[in-house]
Structures are given as C-alpha cells and as structure tokens.
Amino acid sequence: MRKQSVIFLLMVLAICVGLVTLSSTSFAKEVSYLSLADYTGPIAGLNVPADMGLEDYIKDINSKGGVDGVKIKFIGIDTRYDVARAVSAYKRYRRTPRLLVVNSISTGIGKAVARLIERDKRLQIVPGDGEFQAHIQRTFIWGPAYQDAFAATLDWIMDDWKAKGNSGAPVVGYLSWDNPYGREHLRGGKEYAEKLGIKFLPPEFFPPGTLKHDVYLTRLAKAGANYIHAGGVDPTPTNVIRDAYALGITKKIQMTTDYWGPTALGIGVHAKALEGTVITSFYQRGDDSRNNPFVADLWKKHRGSMEKFNEVYGMGMSWGMTYVAGLTAALKAVGYDNLKPDDMYKAYQGITGLDKHGIQGVCAYSPTSRRGSLEVKIYRVKNGKIVPITDWRKAPDAVSLHKF
C-alpha cells in the first residue's frame, strides 16, 4: 500500500514537472502588452475599435512567427474610465513576465499610472497629455499633444476667418468634459490663442453623459463666439453639435472638434446636424482611412465586410507598429534573454522616423520627444462624409507655452 502511494505520488510529480516544462516551453519566447482601456464606459466608442486594430495587427505578426521568433501577448483590461480600477489593474499585472508597454487610455489614468511606471522602469503610452512632453519621463504620447493639435485647430480657424474676408481675429469658445482630458487642451492651447490675438471665451465644462448642452452653447453664442470647439469622446461631440444645430447655432458659428469627434460610422444618422463640422486629427479619418490598403486589408481579413468599419481601428494598428519596431530594436540590442522593460523604453526613443503606412505622421519619439507624431490633418463633414480639407501639417508646439 505504502509502495503504491509512493508510486502514485511520483507519477503526479512527474506529470506536474512535465506540464510546467511544457508550458514554459510554449511560452518560452513571449512578451506582453497591457491595455488599460475603457471597453464599456464613456470612451468605449474609441477604445473598442482601437484595440481591435491593435489585436488584429498583433495576431498577424504572431501568425508570421512573431518578432524574431518572439510572440506578443495582448492583455486588455476594462477600466470603465475609472482611475482606481486602472491603477489596481496595473498593480495586478505589473509582474507579468516581460510586460514591456502599458497603454493607459485616459488622461486621468495616464497621470495616475505614470508614477508606478517610473518606479517599475517601464514604458507607458497615453492619448495626448502634454505634461509628459514638458517633463520628459517614461510616458509617450500617441500623436501630438492635445494642446498642439488644438493650436493647429486655432491656426486653421485664423486661416478660415481671413479666407471669409474678415480682419482681426475671431472669438473662440470651448466646451468639453470636466476632467483632466477636457482641460488638457487649454494648458498651452489657451496661451497659443492669446499669441494669435484670438479672444478666447471662458471655457465651459460638463460631465460625460450630460443630457443637453444648450446652456453652455447659448452662453458661448451670446458671448459672441464665431467658432466653438466641442471636446469629449464621441458620442459627446456629436450630441453637442446636435444640440447646437437644434438651437440654430451651427448656421452662424463654425463647430470644431478634436480627434475624438464624430467618426464616419456615427455621422450617417446625424449627417444634417454635423454637416460642416471641422475635425482635427492626427490619424486618418473617413475615406482616407477606408481607402488605406494597409488598414482595409487587415480589417477585411479579420472583421469581414467594410460596412461597420471604424477609422479608429487604424490608430490601434499604429500602436502595434510602434510596439513591433520598439521590440525589434530592443531584441537587437540585448536579445530575448536579457530583455527588460527598460530596454523597450530605450528602444522607443530610437524609432524616430518610423513610417506608419500613412495612418499618421512618421514617429517622432526620441530622447527629447514624447510625441508619437507631429502632424495633423484637418477634415470636414461634407455630404455625410469626412473629407480632408488640408494635407498633413505640422502642429505648433503649444506645450512649451505653458508652465507645467
């Protein structure tokens, strides 16, 4: 009996050792990417298609054998736009082997996780917080900073104002979410407006999910705004512009939005209200994105028909391209066995000029730059479609105008 027990225990032990060996072999060469994303909350409309693009891109890379034989593991966590949930998720996953990049999709979350990233000597990417350009650390921005892109919008506003035969400078109103994202554009953007001589009205802020925005729009219109910039992640900007349209404001005042304004997918239903809206974007929008073969092919391969195509998908792909370029450089520098998150941080600073197949401008990461790219393109909603009205143009450096 005793002998049988010993044999049984030895067999169990052998199976366990076998399983451990097998699993460590199958995950022998793997690196991780953590996405702290909002899949079910106020910015889900942005996060879901973006992470779809990233995941599909990673799947493609993995199916081709990975990066120099190293497979990429995508970990997506639903934060519901909640900073506490995101911080807790990061703490839970920070010990994941070879977790090289954390994408904190929210300005508030990015700020909160940044300290932990510094402590762990890791790398974080965030949407557009200019603070990380002002104080160079381990946090990188997806494109130009929010304030840079807002400054580009102001440049366009000045051009448009003059093209309409006006002299002097216009009056510009701003309304957005009452949170770090909503306020970020103004930290440098406001100074840039002053520099251009634009009269910038006191900004209006409201929480995500506000039913009607009439009060804020009426106040800005009454104060004499010629242009109103509607912030927030869609559907918020769409709903703000719908309200403005219902009030008859869009007839007299030009509405503008940032990258998270209406997508081609959402414009169909509110085409009338959104007509003429100007969108400043650092990634391709509308048919520009739909006609980009690199983006369209991946979508068709993984998602089928282009009927439900969302241009944010392309932006997610560009995160993947950056990751792959960084990983390639890091592997070349130290090899897989010595690879640490800090090596990825070093590698990201050296991928300056990386071409992203036209989805956005070339990568501008360097030891002194945390901007993912420097260019923006201005689009306009025309006959229910998003059409470009400018070529790629360099966004002004508004970050340096603000004291952080």
Q: Which residues bind another protein (CB under 8 A)?
A: 38-42, 44-45, 47-48, 178, 202, 204-212, 214-216, 218-219, 222, 234-235, 238-239, 246-248, 266, 269-270, 272
Helix ranges (H only) for 70-225 are: 83-93, 107-120, 131-134, 146-163, 180-184, 186-196, 214-222
Residue 380 CA: distances (Å) to CA of 25, 185, 365, 386, 393: 52, 20, 29, 6, 15
Q: Residue 198's beta-bridge partner residues?
A: none
Judged by CB, which is closer to another protein: 114, or 217? 217
Whether cis (ω within 30° of 0) applies to the bond prior to 170 is no
Shortest spacing between CB 212 and another protein, in angstroms: 6
Q: Which is nearer to another protein, 108 or 361 (CB)?
A: 108
By DSSP bridging, strand 30-37 and strand 99-104 are: parallel
Which one, 208 or 388, has the nearer CB to another protein?
Answer: 208
Cβ 44 to another protein shortest distance, Å:
3
Least distance (Å) between residue 358 CB and another protein: 26
| CA-wise closest residue to 323 among 281, 367, 365, 377 | 365
List of residues 6+ apart from 115 with CB closer than 8 A? none
Q: Which is nearer to another protein, 147 or 176 (CB)?
A: 176
Shortest Å distance, C-beta 183 to another protein: 11
C-beta closer to another protein: residue 252 or 332: 252
The answer to whether 351 and 329 are in contact (CB under 8 A) is yes
User: How many angstroms separate the CA atoms of 114 and 104, rounded?
Assistant: 9
Give the nearer residue to another protein in terms of CB position, either 218 or 369.
218
Task: Tell me whether residue 49 or residue 326 sits nearer to another protein (CB atom).
Answer: 49
Which amino acid, residue 318? S
Tell me the closest approach of the beta carbon of residue 137 to another protein, in angstroms: 30
Beta bridge partners of 78: 37
CB 209 to another protein: min, Å: 4
126 — phi, psi (to 5°)? Answer: -135, 165
Taking the least distance from each CB to another protein, the nearer of 12 and 246 is: 246
The three-state secondary structure class of 173 is: strand
The Cβ of residue 187 has, within 10 Å, a number of other Cβ atoms equal to: 23
Q: How many CA atoms lie within 13 A of 201 on its CB side?
A: 23
In angstroms, the first-to-last Cα distance of the chain is 75
- Least separation in angstroms between residue 99's CB and another protein is 24
Q: What are the DSSP calls for 16-28, one per residue?
A: HHHHHHHHHHHTS
**Least CB distance from residue 77 to another protein, whole Å?**
14
